[in-house]
Structure 1
């Protein structure tokens, strides 16, 4: 299929892009890497009168350590994130998640900001952002603001970004030295969207008690989710007293409307999801306890 006709606009700066959004309003959509938007346009799942291409804006491609967090500009390709030494050292959960995103060609063209702003329920970077309590920079012609990850994802392919706003960067906090991270997901074939998956981050004190825990869930709702009941239940407890199976069950205990589709029923997804959380928890806590 071919997309419906649209007008193409290329922005050379963030200011130019937000001015275009203000001008065109609801009839405009930002185009970054295009790995999610272009197929949707081609299948006519969505349509916009104007596409604003931000892929050549240099200020949207950078990775920097700023105020205890790694700031990644929204136009930075997945492949750059996956290969960056600062990311690997400071936010290893991103490095672990990157190879799960599609195939190499997609990771070369797709962008971190595009993946997060698309808010797909099975998006790895979105789950990482939730687990690590990332913060988003949003800019419009009216000014700028920060949005915490838990308030960013609002529904299927929906975020709290206003129609005239652009996601310009994401700040991923750097966790402490006794931390562990893991990503687990179940797919039919490598490169497919996850049927269910989890990103887990855990931080321990010197007595091996859990001081912080973040669990992001993939494919288990209409938008990326957190395993909040499990996070709350394990915090403050000695890690050796927490079973992986308990964490897996708790992470999904508060979920409603787990999807059923051709990939599997809601019950199947829930069982797989709990297993993915349990596996990720085991790997993350093993890393944290070994990092004395």
Structure 2
């Protein structure tokens, strides 16, 4: 049984020399990251569809069971709001083809203004997507979290499409006032919605935002450790992404989360052994 964990990116200047080798060419950075975590969020695809050659490099650097959750471009989700985006969608899908099984889910992150009145558009968009992929939807309109009827309607649309609802849990982050520049920046940008934890498919996806203090991040994720272990016992295979405002320690924190789940569910397979940040010496 697998529980996949990852971060919001595979390269971070604060990781170099601490967790990953200090100087790696672009074509080796994901390979080093994949020795620490077995999943990653594809956030860069939100801003532009990458060249197919870049995606081929991503596939070459990762094993077949590595999980990419890649975000649809903003031209589709935010600018056109899922309408009339056929050409952009086809271009994106062609670019993602080299990932093959590594494309765990195509991630439809919707703007906060996309509300219950837009569910017909979402349903039509999901119906038109090729069945070869899995899909995951992240909503940020508060009605989906505070209105039981709106939540049921959204779940009905997602279940009919075989899509997952991706929660971005920021409840631990917003529990106390920010105490660093990165936290103050995140305070104004991250969605503030109630926690949601119901899985709709066999492969739930969770995004969790902690604090820059590792201890507070660990304290805040207890709910998700227990939930991930529960999902494993149900036969599900979750993917959990660990965020902090500065992400400086997100890489080892993701592994720690995995360790805590394995302590509750020993049947979960271990993560790979990380590559050393520095080469071994003779002395």
Shared fold (TM-score greater than 0.5)? Answer: no
Structure holding more strand per residue: 1
**Larger relative contact order (CA 8 Å, sep ≥ 6):** 2
What TM-score, normalized by structure 1, do the two folds share?
Answer: 0.27
